[in-house]
Amino acid sequence: MAERRYLINFDVSRVGHVFTDVLVVGGGVAGLRAAIEAARSGQVIVTTKDDLAESTTAYAQGGVAAVLDAADSIDHHVTDTLAVGNGLCDPGVVERLAREGPDRVREMIDWGARFDMHDGRVALGLEGAHSAPRIVHAQGDATGREIVSTLARRAAATESIRAFEQCFVIDLITLDNRCVGALTFHPKYGHQAIWARQTILACGGCGTLYRETTNPPSATGDGPALALRAGAVLRDMEFIQFHPTTLYVAGATRALISEAVRGEGAYLVDRLGARFMQEYYPDAELAPRDVVSRAMVDFIKRSHATTVFLDVRHFPPGRFAARFPTIAALCAQFDLDPEKDLIPVRPAAHYTIGGVRTDERGRTNVAGLLACGECASSGAHGANRLASNSLLEGLVLGRIVGAYAGEATQEIHRTSQPPAMKHHFAPSPRTTLDLGDIRNSLRSLCWRNLGIERSAPRLEETIEITDFWSRYVMDKVFDERFGWETQNMLTVARCIALSALTRKESRGVHYRSDYPTADPERFLGHVELVRGGDGLTTRLSPLERHDR
């Protein structure tokens, strides 16, 4: 199926115009850190489709992985990350994350972040697949919100940064194979073109594609979809990480229960309180997330249950509520007392590992377009992400990408006159299907077929069904966010299915029941997606390595 270049019809002479040096799409940890750094060199606009405080970062309970203890080492952090990444990490990028992480944490403290302390030092927790305690938390289980609040305050105090909240980016504008800004829509101001010398995508993941997710509703995969339409290459889209433990109460929104709970000693048990993870992995509850998630799904299936349970009843009285106040309050909403009751949990989509292909400075194959954070494929995570490395990536690579964007603007002529551009697409005469029903059905389809266990028949079914829906949705011209988001979701779902179908092996978070083992001779590389005149094509590219 041929892919549309732009989702709307437009004439540049008939929309409003805003000019800036750097445009940052997204207001989470990566976007704000990039904006703060880029602002050292010029004017910056940050767009967020919701309020600035409501990015996916704010929902991150876990922490920031950083080597702050003399008993730990940078090499150990690198080794842990590479091991979990199953051969697909870029060692140079991983080294940079681990080496710069401590400085970024200290910088956040200097900027006012309040991390948990113990005996006058930053308290360090242990999480799955880490060889040493190195997880920095805030208020026990509110690390993401503390970080994004600190960055938002810093950005607000920076005169050269403007935040455009409730501003939806419909498409990136390209001219002569260069990104020159974005088409946006604001409920109050209507359509505007934001012209920028450098554009940074930092707009999060695609967890909302899945019926079960820890992500907020805004995580609709906008970044990869925007980039793909603009000509950027996507990479590793088959790698979607599922968090093992989300509170499961029928009829309620799924809520994350941090990895740190198991790091503190919680058990995974059946309804009778019997542990089962030892049957699957020597590290039991502290195994990597993909191992724990698959084990839970297998155990639920074998025991004909709906959930398994977290057991913290052996914790000393008061310890759970003191260590995890947000989770304790969440449990209380459903009359669960963790000191007495088992907590029902099951896996949910949590983190998008793949995304827009970038190099070590965040550059894509489209001039003027950069990406960082969850919407990018930077090489930091490989086939599976080590717990608490995502906030770390946002802080470290956000700074690096922002610095490059600021420097690169100096090489490009600043203009105050928009180019003469227009785009017209004749909408399809087909009947429009109910978008709400399509979105709900798509989320169920992705959970069933693009979830923790995959196979060729399921993946082919997903492609067939999304192609059918796309005939009634992608050829329409919508005038509101829900329609554009649904178009982005259909695009990204198809990307995940095509990538997963191409990778005929199991590696990291990508598990195929018809190819249950790794095949390094054929698939030790990256699956890339390229948009052409005839639609999407996949290709397997060799590993890229940057010097450590």
Q: Hey, which residues are catalytic here?
A: 289
Contacts of 301 (CB under 8 A, 6+ apart): none
Contacts of 134 (CB under 8 A, 6+ apart): 65, 66, 67, 68, 69, 72, 77, 124, 126
CB 284 within 8 A of CB 277: yes
Contacts of 186 (CB under 8 A, 6+ apart): 164, 166, 167, 168, 192
Contacts of 216 (CB under 8 A, 6+ apart): 50, 54, 56, 59, 208
Helix orientation angle between 389-409 and 91-110, rounded to the nearest 10 degrees: 90
Question: What single-letter amino acid sits at 367?
Answer: A
Phi-psi map region of 352: left, alpha, beta (phi>0 left; psi -120 to 50 alpha): beta
Contacts of 82 (CB under 8 A, 6+ apart): 89, 91, 94, 382
Distance CA 533, CA 217 (A): 32
What pairing do the DSSP bridges indicate for beta strands 526-532 and 376-377? unpaired
Distance CA 186, CA 200 (A): 19
Question: What single-letter amino acid sits at 30?
Answer: A
Exposure of 245 by Cβ count < 10 A (0-12 exposed, 13-18 middle, 19+ buried)? buried
* SS3 state of residue 140: coil
SS3 track for 386-434: CCCHHHHHHHHHHHHHHHHHHHHHCCCCCCCCCCCCEECCCCCCCCCCC
Distance CA 77, CA 178 (A): 37
CB 114 within 8 A of CB 106: no
Helix orientation angle between 456-473 and 481-502, rounded to the nearest 10 degrees: 150
Tokens 């088409």 identify what position?
Answer: 183
Tokens 């990039």 identify what position?
Answer: 34
Rg (Cα) of the chain, in Å, rounded?
22
Bridge partners (DSSP) listed for residue 118: 121
Distance CA 517, CA 505 (A): 6
Helix orientation angle between 481-502 and 435-449, rounded to the nearest 10 degrees: 20
